[in-house]
Amino acid sequence: MKSRVVSTFLIASTLLIHAGESTYQSCYARWDEQTVTVGNTYFQRTYRATGKGFVTTSFREKDPDYEWIPAAKAVQEKVDLTVSCSTQKWSVAGETALKIVVRIAQKAPLTIWIYPQLAGTLHAHEQESAQRQQMPAEIATGFETDLSKPNIELSSDSECLVLSPQHLRITHYELMDQTDAHNELVSTREWLLQTNEKRLDLQGCVLSAEQTVDQRGIVFLKLAPLPHARPQPQASDFTVNARNRTVEAHYTGYPVATLLYQGGTRGRTHQLHRLQRQLRTYQPGRDGQFLSNTWGDRSRDARINEAFILKEIEAGANLGVDIVQIDDGWQKGRSVNSASAQGKGVWNGYWAADAHFWDPDPVRFPHGIQTVVDAARKQNMAFGLWFGPDSSNDAANWQKDADHLLSFYHDIGIRYFKIDSMKTQNATALRNQRAFFNRMLNGSECNMVFDLDVTAEIRPGYFGLPDIGPLFVENRYSDFHSYWPHQTLRNLWQLSQVVDPLRLRIELLNNQRNKEKYPNDPLAPAAYRADTLFAITLFANPLGWFEVSNLPAAYVQEMKPIIAAWKKERPHLHAGKIAPIGEIPDGIAWTGFESLADTGRYLLLFRELNTHATFELPAQQATHVTVLAGRGTATIDRTRLHITIPETLDYLFVLLN
């Protein structure tokens, strides 16, 4: 049977009926009666249509040329293949891609997304058109599958790659959220594939297969909540069969990206970050901002009122804060966390509790929120609010919630929101929450930014909603003896192996509070200088988890120089290819981050509590080094960069070019 060609753009009139081609920038799709080939500047992948589904017959890097899939005997099989192409965004907040929808007879379609900047594919299974027509438009973007129905037919709900390299290292990342109960957020396991290895059935969102000889690899990223937080439990996300040399990724209702990389762990990180930036485009001035929130000093909402927030704005402007945010307490209703709730606060069903729950508190803000928003704007600062979407009845009030926040954006100019108390208990709730965010992203032209709290509850986590804004990673308090700077650095360092740091909100506290709770502790918060605390956060989104107006004057003076230096460099720093370097932070390591940017190579090095004052790195053809902040020296000697930091628990921020 001949293939049916359906293409919405760029189809040449001379194409034969049994073949087709479609392009977007460097991306292309070509097909005939049985095969579909997709690719761009970096890769090319070919699928063969069979009666059971699509089989990958070639997956090739282009520079240098390398084939990952062993040659197989061609099999001719008559299939009814339909192909359609368009340009589209997977998310309204992301980049445009070439979208290819391929279908065999009456089987569920497979959608293949090709981005100009990615060395690989993003796969999803389309919902049936009738189902999609019944869905609100806000839901359709960002989800291509019916999450309420687990897919049973494995052949149509997985991709299985037979890999040609003999020597492969499998790396499995296990991530944790709910950080109120977990502190070790990333753990990895590795296997060198040997034919007698039992089949591995692994749960998680990230898996890689890397050649040990030349450090090129394939990494899989499943755009899903973590296994414990999914509406339907799944036995495994990835199956590795060493005897057959196969790696199989199971969709089970979620998109899966399959990306090629070079350069070992660092190259893998770069590809994972690049994918996330295709789904959410980095915008200087919107992303990577320094946000302050008073909740970290544990007065909760007891001090929140107009006069106090005006003081916060003035102090924040002096320090260099970009966004002043009011946590729980600005609203008329009282949550369970309110200092005045006395056990009678609300943590769900807000609209049922009080139709005016989300109005500004008329006592605390007698002139409304507009007064403090205007005061922040006069200081060239943005404003943010805490908000708890209504999770009752599977987030049935999503549109009401979204329209309420849109009114704050359009009427008052508030664009930053911390999203807390959200519960994602089933597939309906997840679809409604997806629609909640899409409605606001569309309604604000992607100017609204949402910090999704991942500290508690069942929530979409690191990869369930990758396009809405930063993740509010952790609540740590010196009051409870739970804040150590080296552990915050450890969490950021480990997460940034797979999660783009521009998607993480990382805290720093007022280390002069509660010194008595850390007796004889060489890693106590007070052992660090204030600017070192800020340096820990500067490759991500800094969170001043304190009352700015109550910071000691010495703390402010120590912080201001690095904030100024960071602001000057951050558009280039954040736009670069970021990766953790050195050792995993543990309180005694040499560790840090790098960004390969258009202006050069940014390096942030930390000397933790160790006896080695010097550290070396390859200079990578750089001839000049500039110290941007911190204490120490940096020199280039031929091909090596020599870093010296005289004091422990200190840092150096440099630029090589």
Res 347: pLDDT: 96
Q: What is the DSSP string of 421-453?
A: S----SHHHHHHHHHHHHHHHHHTTT--EEEEE
User: Could you report how far apart the first and last alpha carbons of the chain are, in Å?
Assistant: 59
The 10 Å CB-count burial string (b at 16+, else e) for 317-356 is bebbbbbbbbbbbbbebbbebbbebeeebbbbebbebeee
Task: Compute CA distances 357 → 354, 388, 553, whole Å.
Answer: 5, 11, 38
Q: Which domains does the chain have, with CATH numbers?
A: 1-146 (no CATH), 155-262 (no CATH), 291-565 (3.20.20.70), 592-656 (2.60.40)
Res 46: pLDDT: 98
Cross-strand bridge partners of residue 200:
240
Res 516: pLDDT: 98
Q: Is the pLDDT of residue 638 over 90?
A: no
Mean pLDDT of 408-429: 96
Task: State which H helix or E strand residue 388 sits in.
Answer: none
**Alpha carbons within 13 A on the beta-carbon side of 476:** 25
Res 106: pLDDT: 81
Find the largest Cα–Cα distance for the chain: 80
Res 580: pLDDT: 98
Mean pLDDT of 634-655: 97
**Listed residue (547, 510, 544) closest to 525, CA to CA:** 510
Determine what percent of the chain is predicted with pLDDT higher than 90. 88
The one-letter code for the residue type at 526 is: A
Compute the mean pLDDT over every residue in the chain, rounded to the nearest whole number: 92
DSSP secondary structure letter of residue 199 = P
Mean pLDDT of 307-330: 98
Res 75: pLDDT: 79
For residue 126, name the pLDDT band (cuts at 50, 70, 90).
Answer: low
For residue 144, name the pLDDT band (cuts at 50, 70, 90).
Answer: very low
For residue 129, name the pLDDT band (cuts at 50, 70, 90).
Answer: very low
For residue 113, name the pLDDT band (cuts at 50, 70, 90).
Answer: very high
Res 275: pLDDT: 98
DSSP secondary structure letter of residue 200 = E
Res 16: pLDDT: 36
Res 108: pLDDT: 87
For residue 343, name the pLDDT band (cuts at 50, 70, 90).
Answer: confident
Helix (H, G, I), strand (E, B) or coil at 18: coil
Res 138: pLDDT: 61
Res 73: pLDDT: 81
Helix (H, G, I), strand (E, B) or coil at 218: strand
Query: In this predicted model, which residue has the larger pLDDT, 375 or 135?
Result: 375
Helix (H, G, I), strand (E, B) or coil at 403: helix
Count of other CB atoms within 10 angstroms of residue 532: 24
Distance CA 387, CA 329 (A): 10
Strands 27-31, 35-39: parallel, antiparallel or unpaired by DSSP? antiparallel
Res 137: pLDDT: 53
Question: Is the separation of the CB atoms in 590 and 646 below 8 Å?
Answer: no
**Alpha carbons within 13 A on the beta-carbon side of 237:** 26
Distance CA 197, CA 1 (A): 42
For residue 220, name the pLDDT band (cuts at 50, 70, 90).
Answer: very high
Mean pLDDT of 192-203: 95
Q: Is the pLDDT of residue 200 over 90?
A: yes
Q: 4-61: per-residue pLDDT in tens?
A: 444 433 333 333 336 899 999 999 999 999 999 999 999 999 999 998 899 999 999 9
Res 10: pLDDT: 37
